[in-house]
Structure formats: structure tokens, C-alpha cells
Amino acid sequence: MATYTGLSALWFSLIGLLWAGYFFLEGFDFGVGMVSPLVSRDDTDRRLCLNAVGPVWDGNEVWLLVAGGATFAAFPLWYASLFSGAYLALFLVLLALIVRGVSFEFRGKFDSPGWRRTWDVANFAGSLVAALIWGVAFTNFAHGLPLSAAGYTGGLLGLLHPLAVLGGLAALAVFAFHGSVFLTLKTSGALHERARSTARFAGMAAVVLLAATIAGVAAGGRPWAGAEGALPGAVPLTLGVVGVLLLAGAVLLVGRGREALAFGATGGAILLSVGAVWGLMYPMVIPASSGAVVPGVAGVTLALAASHPYTLTVMTIVAAIFTPLVLLYQGWTYWVFRQRLVRPLDASVSGPVAGGG
């Protein structure tokens, strides 16, 4: 029987940090894609929205690739179980991300309103579908999955219970809020004001939906709460409640024109929400819900899913060397593209536009 090691707990935490970083960064990309049709009045507005995330969206997705790669190397059983049991859901996420990525690159290939409109719809749909499924998935992680002796075999429909759908809608609202606030930092004039107005409405929806999701998860209980090493339920609950309070504070900050602080608050809420999910799961990588097919099954533990300690040791050394370099490079990228976008005086003139000129 495998035993816990400090390295397996460390890598479980690091993978949680990678997911949190991904949702913090890619979250505002998703949000911009979803709210762009609401805040744009013409093609120039839509190009400005794309320009706001054009230089960074593909770099933000690297966090997802690293999280997936780290899971494969550190917890191969976790990785294999997810890709077998939830294959269709992961395929839909991949398809949505591909469509969204292609929309950035193809939008400006032809000077045709219909062509650009098609890829604007693709960007919106790809952002919405990916955000929704991620919200559903992480709500299921917090709530637990109906496991059998063969693991999770419920497929896509098994993930779509009412609480999970509520969590998916909460993710949509939070990312829309996050993206709207990001647009207020990157745009000016009328587009800025429309983004600010959209942010207030999205923020109020995010507060309500996230609070309802947290209440639903808390009411469902944790069948694995008695497992060795499990955190007290008050810890993840506190993280989630503070996240909701940060969202509420961000709504007030947007109303007062403090967009930079509001963006920090929405980002903090996302980080805390992922932390709450990870705190609920520990020490499971796939927790079992109260409706587990096999009675008494608490889930797949870190100890059972982890790689050999030697593998984890090598991974830790490599991560310690290269992670600071990656963070410095990505930070430098954001610094280079920190300027606020300004609408051209002659909107009929098409200048160079990242992913949609």
C-alpha cells in the first residue's frame, strides 16, 4: 500500500497553483471573448477587444499545458483516470480552445465583414464553452464523483448534475467579470465605459452564482472528510467565502473607477476559489461523492496516484530551475504590452491588429 510523501503533497499543491495561474490569466481571455459582443459597437471595437488579449492569450494557455504535463508526470493514475472517464468533456474543451485559437489567427485573413463576423462568433463560442466546462469540472472535483471499482465511468452526462451546472454558470460570470475589468484597464473612451458598465452587471451575477455554488458544495458534505490528512472543512469554506467577498469588493471598486484594484480583487477571488477546491479534495485527487457506486470508497488518493519519489525529486529540481525563468519572461511580456489601447481617429483605417487586423 502506497504511503504519503512530502513530494506528492508538494506536487499536488504545485499543480493547484498551475491551475490557479491558468484561470487567473486565461480567465480574463475567456471573459474578453464572452463580453466583446456586448461592449462592441463596430468592427473597430471588436478589433480593440482582440488586441487587448492578442499578445498574451497563447502564452496564458501554456499554464494549462504545464498543468497537464505535471499531472501526467507526477500523478499518472490521476491523468489516466480523467482522460478515460471524462474523455468527451476534455475533447469538447480541446475543441473549444482550438476554435478560439484559430479565430485569433484567421479573423484578419480576408477583408470581409462576414468572414470577420464568423470568427468573432467562433471566439465567443470557444471562450464560453471552455469556461463553462472548466466550471463544471472543478465543481465536480469539489463535490466528488460517483466512482466505481473502475473509477469514474459516467462520461459527460454524469458530470452535468444541477450543482455542477450552477458551478459552470458561476465560472462564466466570474470570467466575464474578470475580462470586463481587464478591458477597462486596456481601453479608453466609450469602449471603456461600456466595459465598465458590463463589469458591474457581470460582477453582481458572479457574486450570487459563486456564493450559491459554495453553499451547494458545503451542503453536499465530503464523504472523504475522515481520510488521513484531510483538511478541516472550515479551511476551504473560508477560502471560498473570502473569494466571494473579494468579488463583491471588486464590484464596488469598479463603480468608483478603481479598475486596477478591482482586477486584483477578481484575480484574487479566482485564486482563492481554486485553492478552496484543492483544499476540499485533499488528500484525494479524484474524490468520491456520496453517490459512489462502491460503498465506502473515498476516492483515489495522492499516495495511490503518485509517481515514484525519484520521479518527483527530478521534477522538483527541474521546476526549481526553470519556473523562475518562465515567470520572468511572462512578466516581461505583460510589461511590454502594458499600454492602454486607443481607438484610431479614422476607424475606417485598418492598422496592424494582433489576431484580427
Taking only the tens place, the pLDDT of each residue in 260-282 is 999 999 999 999 999 999 999 99
Q: Is residue 1 part of a domain?
A: no
Per residue, the 3-state secondary structure of 41-105, as one string, reads CCHHHHHHHHHHHCCCHHHHHHHHHHHHHHHHHHCHHHHHHHHHHCHHHHHHHHHHHHHHHHHHH
Q: Is residue 342 part of a domain?
A: no
Q: Is residue 345 part of a domain?
A: no
Is 51 within 8 Å of 354 (Cβ atoms)?
yes
Q: Is residue 208 part of a domain?
A: yes
Mean pLDDT for the stretch of residues 9-37: 94
Is 31 within 8 Å of 182 (Cβ atoms)?
yes
User: How high is the pLDDT of residue 149?
Assistant: 66
Give strand ranges (E) for the chain.
Answer: 284-287, 299-301
- Closest among 260, 265, 121 to 206, alpha carbons compared: 265
- The amino acid at 34: M
Q: What are phi and psi of 151, to 5 degrees?
A: 95, -155
Domain that includes residue 32, residue range:
6-336
- Considering its fold, how many domains does the chain have in total? 1
Calculated CA dihedral for residues 50, 51, 57, 58, nearest 10 degrees = 110
Q: Is residue 351 part of a domain?
A: no
User: How high is the pLDDT of residue 195?
Assistant: 93
pLDDT at 345 over 60: yes
User: How high is the pLDDT of residue 226?
Assistant: 78
For the whole model, what pTM was predicted? 0.89
Which has more confidence, 187 or 356?
Answer: 187
Q: Is residue 188 part of a domain?
A: yes
Provide the 3-class DSSP secondary structure of residue 288: strand
The pLDDT tens digits of the residues spanning 188-201 come to: 889 999 999 999 99
pLDDT at 293 over 80: no
Q: Is residue 348 part of a domain?
A: no
- The amino acid at 279: G
The pLDDT tens digits of the residues spanning 48-94 come to: 999 889 888 888 888 999 999 999 999 998 998 888 878 888 899 99
Q: Is residue 141 part of a domain?
A: yes
